Amino acid sequence: AQTVTQSQPEMSVQEAETVTLSCTYDTSESDYYLFWYKQPPSRQMILVIRQEAYKQQNATENRFSVNFQKAAKSFSLKISDSQLGDAAMYFCAYRSAFMNRDDKIIFGKGTRLHILP
């Protein structure tokens, strides 16, 4: 069974600085997708970025980028130029790329990010 681990329950970063949130996962599958979701105080779940395991290039969305290390099963999220609006809970998630019957989606326990003004 797949697992997703976020080892940092909470982190803080100074506004305008860069922060990296870590995520490791375990799977025996060769193709899959990894996601980072943001949950601000409004509780809405917002997709930040996704990465397909077969793509070597790290995904980037504006100030958000990932460092995907497939062999190490690591998927960290880097937030550059942190802004107050980035304060939220961040979840890492795994989903198989195969169109098989078991299509569970696995989430990590989350990392709460605080932005210090």
**Residue ranges that bind another protein, judged by CB under 8 A:** 6, 9, 31-33, 43-45, 47, 50, 52, 91, 93, 95-99, 101-110
**Side-chain half-sphere of 83: how many Cα atoms within 13 Å?**
6
Q: For residue 55, give the nearest of 40, 70, 35 by alpha carbon.
A: 70
Distance in Å, CB of 85 to another protein, minimum: 19
Cβ proximity to another protein, 7 vs 18, nearer residue: 7
| CB nearer to another protein: pick between 13 and 110 | 110
Angle at 91 between CA 69 and CA 40, to 5 degrees: 140
Nearer residue to another protein within complex by CB, 16 or 97: 97
- How many residues in total does the chain contain? 117
The CB-of-19 to another protein minimum distance in angstroms stands at 19
Q: Nearer to another protein by C-beta: 18 or 62? A: 62
Cα gap 86→73, rounded to integer Å: 25
